[in-house]
Amino acid sequence: MDNGYHTLLVAIDCSDDSARLLTRATAVAANDAQLHLIHVIEPLALAYGADIPMDVSDLQSGLMDQARKAALRHAQAFSVPAERVHVELGSIEKTIREKADQIAADLIVVGSHTRTGLALLLGSTAKGLVPGAHCDVLAVKIAAS
């Protein structure tokens, strides 16, 4: 009998909560599973409206670099190779679903809680991912601190 998921996409926000998501993902993964990490940064123009009166490309680039370093630290702690760490710029739900399809994921793991931390990034994302996802979605309850 085949137990566990084989290709998992773990959506992290690079906070301390990310380790909890990765721990849960490894618990439901098959022995030969591949874990992929994704951290999505919404374009500043998308997040704050298109009327930003300055060029934010340098700021955006800095955010991407910072996020990649943080994601790689989490990946290293869970023995996920760098080539399976994805830091993307785009709409959060759409980008996670597209990456899941690209890697043929059989599980997307996201955090779910209210008020702080992951809620700002993934609070509604967990609910929003389910209808359009082509695989299972695991929403890991993160206790509010």
Q: What's the CATH number where 131 sits?
A: 3.40.50.620
- pLDDT for residue 57: 76
- pLDDT for residue 128: 74
CA distances from 60 to 66, 69, 100 (A): 10, 14, 24
- pLDDT for residue 48: 58
- pLDDT for residue 117: 52
The reported pTM is 0.84
Say how far apart CA 115 and CA 103 lie, in whole Å: 31
Q: Residue 63 belongs to what domain range?
A: 5-141
Q: Which of 39, 41, 36 is nearest to 100 (CA)?
A: 36
- As for how many domains the chain has, the answer is 1
Q: Kindly give the parts of the chain with pLDDT less than 50.
A: 1, 118-119, 122
- pLDDT for residue 43: 81
